[in-house]
A and B are shown apart, each in its own frame.
Chain A
Amino acid sequence: MVNLIINNKKISVPEETTILEAAKQNNILIPNLCYLENIHKIGSCRICVVEVEGMRNLQASCMVTVREGMKVYTNSERVKKTRNVLFELMLSDHPKDCLKCERNQKCELQKLGEQIQIKEARFEGQKSQEVMDISSPSIIRDTSKCILCRRCVTVCNEIQGVGALNPQKRGFKTQIGPAMALSLNSVNCAFCGQCTVVCPVGALVEKDATQNVWKALFDKNKRVIVQTAPAIRAALGEEFGYEPGTLVTGKMVSALRQLAFDDVFDTNFTADLTIIEEGNEFLQRVTKALTGEGATLPMITSCSPGWIKFVEHSFPEKLEHLSSCKSPHMMLGALAKSYYAEKLGMNPKDIFVVSIMPCTAKKYEIVRPEMINDGFHNVDAVLTTRELALMIKKAGIDFQALEEDSFDNPLGLSTGAADIFAVTGGVMEAALRTVYEIITGRELPFAKLHITPLVGFEQIKTAEITIKDPKEEFKFLEDFTVKIAVTSGLKGAKYLMDQIVRGESPYHFIEVMGCPGGCISGGGQPRPTTPEIRLKRLQAIYNEDESKAIRKSHENPFVETLYQDYLNEPLGHKSHELLHTHYTKRGKFNELLDE
């Protein structure tokens, strides 16, 4: 432990602690901006300056570690003056149009202003060049609001390993963006949105879909169907003052009804359906591989559109490893405009499907040309969790006061297996709960059905399951050991793909989610997503799973009905038409590669 004095208060903290952290642990708040705990520390904004006795210059407290006997002043006159000037300089090159800014009331620069309390903004300087990049279907860049903290650079390069963003030019002309002023849509951005979660200001935000959704809701001739991803219910509450990890499923459904959606469906339903299709696809591939017919293994999950875009750019020659299943919300959209439309006796053109997603890449996914059936987009609009919260607020709904309500059928009932699609390891566990039972006729042999090595936030998780005593028709699987790997975040995905490229992948089945931790910490989720918040959301998801009476996808009665009435069989003709897709070879620089 190191003993030091901050503002005359004696404290002691572990070695290697920064002054900023030491102060925080002792309830002394040092204003800061660019620093992001555990993720990003480069000392660029210098807002966190403090005075250290015996040192001539003020120190950036987020960069300096504590030393024995150190005397630190966080609020001396000199510190305050410097902080004010730094803040005023920042404001001199900032548009300050908070009232019409996406981040109004949720902006770290505003919050800093509240802490620093300047009385005047003395500098009116030259404004740096503004670039408004609205090229992508997912993310908007507005460099006029950028404060050059570089959090997005760290996340995009170090955590996601994509590197679409980096500082360009220098000095006053510095801009954070893609190479050579290219637009985000013309580079290899995965649209994962992780940069939008960490950006402290309104410089990186999702592309607004609320306008389109309001328009559809006001259109009398449209039947507007909404569906919610598994991860929304574990995070939406944070936007309305609930503790992280509070499940708000029932209130969320009520809010959607009050917003006047005609049907409130659950993406969880098609998560169950995905398991039936994907589980059978996996079984088919393994069977072919073992019976000498040949098949591409490992098979890799395909629910995460950011991951799909990443792999298309980075490993265009390896796309046959991807499961051909569309992601669950695309399946629901496709069914809403076919199966459900037929039930209603409606023309699909009058149906408008909205997906509430924890994800910005889903906004891009819905405009992919592969996601069209009979000339209609499967899904018409994607709202992030944050955008849904904005709509609820705008409609004047008192969220906390809402009654609990439940999803509509036939596309609303789901099992616990669907809930865990929201967390890393969940899709794999859900698939194996079903596949193992198909093969052996017995339940997956794990306590509470959780494949323990696959639970948690490690970058790469692996497990092996050996088949014993299978059913007659699967005798060839006797003693076969299924090797599986799970990763979340694109850097881990790259690692597993590199193994495949080198021909060294030992796995049969891999789950990839594009965002670290899975959808619970997706690019469209409430800010901030700290490690603690992520863990609470994970626990909420597992609680939701365990609270369900049915916890295996193949036991979902509405899925059974769907096959009886409409799809006939897994991987059948109708399934292929509506629920499966194919992928596009793209280059590293977003060039389309020929077949």
Chain B
Amino acid sequence: MYDNECECEYNHIPFVVKGEVSVALEIKCQCQCAEESDQDKYTRISEIIDEYKDKEGSLIQILHLAQGIYGHIPLELQKFIAQRLEIPLSQISGVVTFYSFFSTQPRGENTIKVCLGTACYVRGGKKILDQLIELLKVQVGDTTADGKFTLEVMRCIGACGLAPAISINDEVYKQVNPDKLQSILKEFGEVKK
């Protein structure tokens, strides 16, 4: 009947890969089998590598696109890219760990960024960061064990008048203080003590 049938044992609802077919788009199977498999992601990444391989300075570009597909760049994916590009793994990891926009761990559902521009810093931004590190039990750049939050820092976002500021998923929260922080986090679900 359909070309693509979900293999889950509950509801065999047709699903769509990469928008090629436009049937029953709305009714997605709850099992999420429809999500692209790792293997498919690797296939796509390897196509990108073939395309960019011989272009100069392509490594960053490839890593960027790979992160777009995979979400992050773990060791295994770095090895895959190293093998395909025939360059040392240590060089790939050197680039991945150099730029803060690459992540080696899966990103959380929500990204919290704490502004550490001068104004925010002097008006308590550092304290907010310390509090977050303690509350979420993560270091800067890492993701909480439950996958809910990724903690990052950023330079001035232009909210100096209302410092200290943080942003969550690109929404800015101004004049944050420890109490306010607790309630903001609650919006995103319970924070474990």
* Bound together: yes
Residues of A participating in the B interface, judged by any CB pair closer than 8 Å:
157, 162-170, 177-180, 187, 588-589
The 4 closest A-B pairs by CB, nearest first: A163-B88, A179-B93, A166-B90, A166-B94
Number of A-B residue pairs with CB-CB distance less than 8 Å in the complex they form: 53
Residues of B participating in the A interface, judged by any CB pair closer than 8 Å:
75, 78-79, 82-83, 87-94, 97-99, 104
Whether the Cβ atoms of A168 and B94 lie closer than 8 Å is yes
In the complex with contacts A179-B75, A180-B78, A170-B97 CB distance below 8 A: yes
Whether the Cβ atoms of A166 and B98 lie closer than 8 Å is no
- Smallest Cβ-Cβ distance to B87: which chain A residue: A163
Whether the Cβ atoms of A589 and B79 lie closer than 8 Å is yes
Docked Cα-Cα span, A177 to B98, in Å, equals 13
Whether the Cβ atoms of A157 and B93 lie closer than 8 Å is no
Whether the Cβ atoms of B98 and A179 lie closer than 8 Å is no
- Smallest Cβ-Cβ distance to A173: which chain B residue: B97
- Smallest Cβ-Cβ distance to A591: which chain B residue: B79
Query: What residues of chain B lie closer than 8 Å to A162, measured between beta carbons?
Result: 88
Docked Cα-Cα span, A29 to B93, in Å, equals 38
Query: What residues of chain B lie closer than 8 Å to A165, measured between beta carbons?
Result: 90
- Smallest Cβ-Cβ distance to A169: which chain B residue: B97
In the complex with contacts A164-B90, A166-B94, A187-B90, A588-B82 CB distance below 8 A: yes
Query: What residues of chain A lie closer than 8 Å to B92, measured between beta carbons?
Result: 179
From B83, B90, B98, A169 is in contact (CB under 8 Å) with B98
Whether the Cβ atoms of A166 and B79 lie closer than 8 Å is no
Whether the Cβ atoms of B94 and A167 lie closer than 8 Å is yes
Docked Cα-Cα span, A164 to B99, in Å, equals 20
In the complex with contacts A169-B98, A179-B78, A588-B90 CB distance below 8 A: no
- Smallest Cβ-Cβ distance to B95: which chain A residue: A166
Whether the Cβ atoms of B88 and A168 lie closer than 8 Å is no
Query: What residues of chain B lie closer than 8 Å to A179, measured between beta carbons?
Result: 75, 78, 88-90, 92-94
Whether the Cβ atoms of B83 and A588 lie closer than 8 Å is yes
Query: What residues of chain A lie closer than 8 Å to B89, measured between beta carbons?
Result: 163, 178-179, 187, 588-589
Docked Cα-Cα span, A48 to B79, in Å, equals 38
Docked Cα-Cα span, A168 to B89, in Å, equals 11
> Least Cβ distance of B104 to chain A in Å?
7
Docked Cα-Cα span, A169 to B87, in Å, equals 18
Whether the Cβ atoms of B90 and A178 lie closer than 8 Å is yes
> Least Cβ distance of B23 to chain A in Å?
43
- Smallest Cβ-Cβ distance to B90: which chain A residue: A166
Docked Cα-Cα span, A178 to B184, in Å, equals 40
Whether the Cβ atoms of A164 and B98 lie closer than 8 Å is no
Whether the Cβ atoms of A170 and B98 lie closer than 8 Å is yes
Docked Cα-Cα span, A179 to B87, in Å, equals 12
